[in-house]
Structure 1
Amino acid sequence: MKGPLFYSKILLFGEYGIIKDSKGLSIPYNFYNGALKTDENPSESAMASNESLKRFVDYLESIDRDLVVFDTQSLSDDVDRGMYFDSSIPQGYGVGSSGALVAAIYDKYAQNKITVLENLTREKLLKLKTIFSEMESFFHGKSSGLDPLNSYLSIPILINSKDHIEATGIPSQNTEGKNAVFLLDSGIIGETAPMVGIFMENMKQEGFRSMLKNQFIKHTDACVEDFLKGDVKSLFKNTKRLSKVVLNHFKPMIPHQFHDLWKKGIETNAYYLKLCGSGGGGYILGFTENIENAKLALKDHKLEVVYSF
């Protein structure tokens, strides 16, 4: 048995900011995916995933039935038969490994589910996001629900504010283009919960809150608007500003050995780095106006181009 595939995602802009109502832009990343599966001879990782699903089933039974009802009987039976989530999505890398699992479970076991084929009104999108937020909280303590939403719908999602999200189109890729968005592998697994903890602790300080509103969110919103409009010149100007703010105020979220590399990008304009997800490890997101120059400057690192324009 193998279920449908659910893809990873990349939050291009909005990490941390969307907790405080900044804009955000999330796109599916089809390079990684996962599906629910059962095998006759499960591997160790399949058995570990199955154990985690057992705990997840108990958790799903605690979710308010007015919000969503699952066919927990079928789900329990399948899990008892050894079902697991077979995924190529790296965990702790900020590309939505738990989001894809949540999307797969909802797709298969939710009753009266909202489907991709319907007219996705703002109300339906918000309801899905709320359901997914509840479901994914099992994995990270507090979830926005965006990762599973992106994985479930497999379309770019524009976050205008907490209560206003919409499906959106993004400028089409141009594989000949020199401008690119890429992923840089830090080689370290990041943990979401401690990073969010540091952020919440910082939010208690007036200075940090003011920086978030007047710099971080301002530049994030500008980047989203530039990207959607296809205003490349302005996009790179604002991405550079955002990269600076992150280096100055989100240092704990940037793995130590990448501080100098981050700074070098800003100083040489060869590339600009930003957080991918909560940071602390996993992938780092990069933007460049010349992918060949960026590859040269980052030749000692593993780089994956995710979007050319």
Structure 2
Amino acid sequence: MATSAIHETEHQITVSAEPAAVYAVLADAGTWPAVFPPTVHVELLSHDDHEERIRIWATANGKPKGWTSRREFDRERLRIRFRQEKSSHPVAAMGGEWIVEPGSRGSTRVRLTHDFRAADDDSASVRWITNAVNRNSEAELAALRRAVESPGDRLMTFEDSVTVRGSAAGVYEFLHRADLWHERLTHVAAITVTEETPNLQLMEMETRSRDGSTHTTTSVRVCFPDHLIVYKQLRTPPLLSLHTGRWTVRPDGDRTVVTSAHTVGIAADRVTDVLGAQGTVAQARDLARKALSGNSMLTLNAAKDYAESRVGAGPR
């Protein structure tokens, strides 16, 4: 059987930052969900000074995908080579390299290369992959520039927890079946969940605020039965530039502790549009925390009631 053709791309950008600062962001894949728009979640599988294996979940042309990559570090030359161990259809194989090059007057040029093969060498698949690589590469390089040129942008992280007199499985089931939330949660006006790959969900939700207004968000959720669901909003409320979160379900003796954690960034350029001419980033942070914590507690308490109602009920 003939091997499908290899296709190559290269994208680049110049940033106003020292090469070491740029390389540090690229080397720390665990922070990528907060840096790169397409990246939803990264799981570190193994790591040493020379290479690492990571599991990545990200969007490609708006679709959630997951794959495992091996990365090799060349810190002296400021290069990181990567190769997918198991690709996601329609990609048959993919690899590439981050190349960080010192520029003039403290600037840095970053080059991102890719080489890939499409499944069955299908022309439609080649176009789909090329579009995804181009879109994600441009988004990642622009986000990298923002991250290294504006390191003072602060993220806010907070969490809420409840203790459940019920099983972790019951709590997890409630959280995993988000497609039923519009029936079970008063603040969810409508919801659509698509799960083409098991435990990888694309969710569009219309949330009802206390004043009766609604806003729509789009999220990708990565589910790890029966203990963890991580997510990233691809479409955020107007005040937020970033929203990632996780639902953690932890057995504790004969009880279960369930926690909702959020990491958010405020869209500073939209504050006055939403809050009025006198609105401040501090007010926006306070409003975001209250709204997200309020909705989290509604969901946590509903999950608690659901799990506790199943105790001793037997199979259903």
**If the TM-score is normalised by the length of the shorter chain, which range does it land in?**
under 0.3
Relative contact order, higher structure (CA 8 A, sep 6+): 1
Q: Which has the higher helix share?
A: 1
The normalised TM-score by structure 2 is: 0.25
The normalised TM-score by structure 1 is: 0.26
Of the two, which has the highest radius of gyration?
2
Q: Which has the higher strand share?
A: 2
